[in-house]
């Protein structure tokens, strides 16, 4: 069997398409430096805490129509054109934020940004898993987390030290730059095969694999085409998706989405500066910058770990670590706000919340941050892949909205420690879920992954 001569195109395309998540990371992290600027009157925007909570959370809600658009565009126009269309609503939203002083228009702008993020979330991982060789599919998938972290780092680092206008220009620039660097990327061969365009699929496959060996290419395309044709005999509808053969995959992805978002990553990312500015003597801006650097480093490390370790073990370690880290942060804030603990004891524990939040950051990036996205693109066959990914991302958007919207209310009513312990309890449940239900997909082609999980479901039904 011929080995592809070069994976250069796969790596470059993966980097360029993943860069969309710098905008996602910037949008999620933007409230952390922006809200203090509102509070201290640095923006000229008159906005209440309730309005601020809507501005923060509506980006997640706006991603819902973005998920639907991502699904429709991916199926109708292809992965490449969908990638290129994703920045448009985000650019418009960032432009509105740059000039408006109205909280209502800010909410509209955040919805538009959310639409861009929704399109990106659906199409990016599908594209990456379809163009990548099985040996590098996990690593390319983890690039999404790296880019997300890069966008967050820039906002965390620059945000507290620049004007509100410059902060918004930074977010705007991410969207524009992403559109430019993705103009050259090739289409996914799977999209062409699903639409019966064999010659075009073969051409793109040869570009992606870096080879002109037509004999080997024809062999690989024949295997892919047979699998795609078999899947495409089934319909691409919600009714098809509810069939028993997809049931186990649906349960796995739904459970992973609950873990990914109900452990509070986006709430912590959005409010990290506020958390430390208002509850400890630790510098909020300093912690947010440190958070961003650690987050980026963890994301980069995760891309290498994914080359050597399976998805399942990384997810298990990540979930357990997240649970313990959140518990530690909750303990500190419980001592700080609810018990009559001496200042001497508290001063000796000042590193505890930093260690807890940064440990959460690292361990989340190792698994929970991105592996659920990789698995949702790997486990579903091509006939329902975009539909399933769209619905899974919609579910994630709803969970994200709930967490970011209710964070402030739960914190004010029950205390900030309650928030962290609620997040931790979800993670502890997730440890058992990951161990007993999540399959391993490392080192398998997409065809092998999907055949294995459907065969497992058939065997289970036969035993009943």
Give the residue carrying structure tokens 């080997």: 216
Rounded CA-CA distance 411/337 in Å is 11
Rounded CA-CA distance 377/390 in Å is 10
Rounded CA-CA distance 116/28 in Å is 12
Give 158-190 pLDDT, tens digit per residue.
888 899 999 999 999 999 999 999 999 999 999
Residue 285's contacts (CB-CB under 8 Å, 6 or more residues apart) are 33, 160, 161, 273, 277
How many other CB atoms are there within 10 angstroms of residue 101's CB atom? Answer: 11
Q: Does residue 359 belong to any structural domain of this protein? A: yes
382-407 b/e (C-beta count within 10 Å ≥ 16 → b): bbbbbbbbbbbbbbbbbbbbbbbbbb
Q: Does residue 201 belong to any structural domain of this protein? A: no
Please say whether the beta carbons of 430 and 326 come within 8 A.
no
Please say whether the beta carbons of 441 and 449 come within 8 A.
yes
3-state secondary structure 258-308: HHHHHCCHHHHHHHHHHHHHHHCCCCHHHHHHHHHHHHHHHHHHHHHHHHH
Residue 36: give its domain's CATH number: 1.20.1250.20
Q: Does residue 261 belong to any structural domain of this protein? A: yes
Q: Does residue 219 belong to any structural domain of this protein? A: no
Residue 1: the pLDDT is 46
Residue 285: the pLDDT is 65
Give the residue carrying structure tokens 């092998």: 448
Two tokens, residue 181: 């660097």
Q: Does residue 194 belong to any structural domain of this protein? A: no
DSSP state of 42: -
Q: Does residue 193 belong to any structural domain of this protein? A: no
Q: Does residue 3 belong to any structural domain of this protein? A: no
Range of the domain at 426: 8-185+234-463
Residue 59: the pLDDT is 86
Q: Does residue 220 belong to any structural domain of this protein? A: no
CA dihedral over 33, 37, 38, 40, signed as positive or negative: positive
Closest CA to 386 of 115, 142, 148, 190: 190
What is the tally of structural domains in the chain? 1
Low-confidence ranges of the chain (pLDDT < 70): 1-5, 233-237, 269-285, 287-288, 340-343, 346, 454-464
Residue 200: the pLDDT is 94
CA 257 vs CA 234, 254, 372, 411: distances in Å: 26, 5, 7, 23
Q: Which helix (H) or strand (E) holds 153?
A: helix 137-158
What predicted TM-score, i.e. pTM, was given to this entire model? 0.77
């Amino acid at each position: 069997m011929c080995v592809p001569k070069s994976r250069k195109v796969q790596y470059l395309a993966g980097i360029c398409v993943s860069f969309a998540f710098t905008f996602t990371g910037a949008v999620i992290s933007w409230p952390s430096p922006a809200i203090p600027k509102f509070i201290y009157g640095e923006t000229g925007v008159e906005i209440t805490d309730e309005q601020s909570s809507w501005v923060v959370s509506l980006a997640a809600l706006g991603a819902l129509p973005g998920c639907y658009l991502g699904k429709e565009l991916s199926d109708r126009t292809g992965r490449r054109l969908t990638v290129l269309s994703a920045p448009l609503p985000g650019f418009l939203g960032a432009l509105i934020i740059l000039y408006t002083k109205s909280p209502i228009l800010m909410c509209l702008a955040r919805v538009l940004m959310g639409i861009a993020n929704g399109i990106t979330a659906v199409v990016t991982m599908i594209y990456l898993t379809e163009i990548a060789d099985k040996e590098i599919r996990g690593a390319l998938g983890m690039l999404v987390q790296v880019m997300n972290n890069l966008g967050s780092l820039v906002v965390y680092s620059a945000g507290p030290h620049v004007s509100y206008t410059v902060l918004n220009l930074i977010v705007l620039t991410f969207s524009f730059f992403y559109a430019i660097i993705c103009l050259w990327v090739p289409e996914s061969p799977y999209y062409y095969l699903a639409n019966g365009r064999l010659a075009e699929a073969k051409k793109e496959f040869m570009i992606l694999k870096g080879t002109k060996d037509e004999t080997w290419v024809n062999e690989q395309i024949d295997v892919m085409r047979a699998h795609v044709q078999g899947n495409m005999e089934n319909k691409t509808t919600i009714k098809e998706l509810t069939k028993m053969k997809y049931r186990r995959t649906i349960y796995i992805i739904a459970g992973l989405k609950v873990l990914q978002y109900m452990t509070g990553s986006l709430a912590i990312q959005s409010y990290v500066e506020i958390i430390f500015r208002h509850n400890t003597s630790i510098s909020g801006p300093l912690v947010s910058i440190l958070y961003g650097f650690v987050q980026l480093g963890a994301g980069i490390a995760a891309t290498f770990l994914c080359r050597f370790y399976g998805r399942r073990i990384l997810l298990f370690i990540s979930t357990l670590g997240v649970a313990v880290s959140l518990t530690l942060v909750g303990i500190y804030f419980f001592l700080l706000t609810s018990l009559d603990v001496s200042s001497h004891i508290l001063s000796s524990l000042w590193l505890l919340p930093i260690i807890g939040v940064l440990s959460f950051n690292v361990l989340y990036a190792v698994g929970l941050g991105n592996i659920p996205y990789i698995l949702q693109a790997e486990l579903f066959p091509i006939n329902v892949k975009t539909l399933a990914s769209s619905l899974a991302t919609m579910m994630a958007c709803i969970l994200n909205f709930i967490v970011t919207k209710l964070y402030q209310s739960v914190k004010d009513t029950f205390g900030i420690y309650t928030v962290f312990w609620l997040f931790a309890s979800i993670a502890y449940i997730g440890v058992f879920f990951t161990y007993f239900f999540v399959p391993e997909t490392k080192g398998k082609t997409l065809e092998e992954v999907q055949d294995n999980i459907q065969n497992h479901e058939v065997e289970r039904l036969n035993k009943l």
